[in-house]
Structure 1
Amino acid sequence: MSPFLGEVLGTMLLILLGDGVVAGVVLNKSKSQNSGWIVITVGWGLAVAMAVYAVGAISGAHLNPAVTIALASIGRFEWSQVPGYIVAQMVGAFLGAVLVWLHYYKHWEATEDKGAKLAVFSTGPAIRSTWANLLSEIIGTFVLVFGILAIGANKFADGLNPFIVGTLIISIGISLGGPTGYAINPARDLGPRIAHALLPIPGKGDSDWGYSWIPVLGPIVGGLIAAFTYITLF
């Protein structure tokens, strides 16, 4: 399997399990409805762990343009491969979102809340404030990328890296996810948001394109700051 296909499949699995847990919690008549924020954060952490285990040996399992760009910026990934990886991540995220739509097919019509339907696919702010929302995404992704680099530097983490990164995602979600829903990944947010816009979801609202640039730019900036901070300190 090529690294490109690895990133497609890994990101697809990430979104299928990650957006899938959100769908289960927020859509009507799901058996897991209203199970809460902790379930969502744990679900996303396990989604990341499973996706990294699945394709880590194939592509390195970036699964996130912010990670790919950050690694390239400090010489740990070839710039020539960055565009292909980002395309693969976007394709995988879109496909994962389509699978979530299919999996919960009967629940969209049973759910009246347009905001809940959008929340399955993409993030949104608890309090809308451009600078504060952008800062939250920068900080969250800083912790993600700094944490990934730190975890990778520890020999004890060999073989356990995906699981430990999954716990990092849970920690970020519980501690820092409240303001914006912690996209911390441009593909994770933009790919499914495009799917929301295109899919025939009964009673959906708009896709909140006015906010969509924040979970793209914020993670890229946060990842770059984290990468340069890490190599400066260590």
Structure 2
Amino acid sequence: MFFLLFSFFVGMVSAQLSSTFYATSCPNALSTIKSVVDSAVSNEPRMGASLLRLHFYDCFVNGCDASVLLDDTSTFIGEKTAGPNNNSLRGFDVVDTIKSQLENIFFGVVSCADILAVAARDSVVALGGTNWTVQLGRRDSTTASLSAANSNIPAPTLNLSGLLSAFSNKGFTANELVALSGSHTIGQARCTVFRTRIYNETNIDSSFATSLKSNRPSTGSDNGLAPLDVTSPTSFDNALQEFDKQQGSLALRPRTL
């Protein structure tokens, strides 16, 4: 279900999309994106989760329009320095590489919004997830909103009602929210996000929490990392849900759901 829902999610910006949008104008678009993504994920498996998250955070703020990629200008402050994104979002260099290669083939044809959508799909596939067809033809935004990013992107500490509200505002049901949360099976969390969970909460296995505390102090080291799925951190599977049933996952969101 995750793949069907995410396919809908990444295509919801427009009803005029087509999987063959670049078939004539840039026939090598998809293969070029896949080649760069495969190389990046092979070099650093964590990058797959980073690219998926980058696209999700783009779509959750005014639609899938690549506004998350825009730097600050004299007329607006971009989304990169928003609270949920600052020192956290990754993968911009991979997107830059893809864009550069595509521009060398056909200048100004493939949108950054479509690059993000396809790169997210290819990242999941590279980590063992199921493939899906990406609808193409998105247009890139020429502006971005720091305030919209701060207010729209769901915080990792949201409780159930907060999560339901945030996703309902984007047109998703509770069941769809649960399915989409399966993306937490890949990637890592920064210590600043899960410190309270391992030191102060009780709905987590004590031995698991203790193992995390060993090199993650109660103060400082905010950028220390731990996998969201400790059993298969670089495989897109259902191991996180199974582990969560037994011990309580590192990420609060899957546990809440």
For the aligned pair, the TM-score class normalised by the smaller chain equals under 0.3
TM-score w.r.t. the length of structure 1 is 0.28
Higher-RCO chain (CA-CA 8 Å, sequence separation at least 6) = 1
TM-score w.r.t. the length of structure 2 is 0.26
Structure ranking higher in helix proportion: 1
Larger radius of gyration: 2
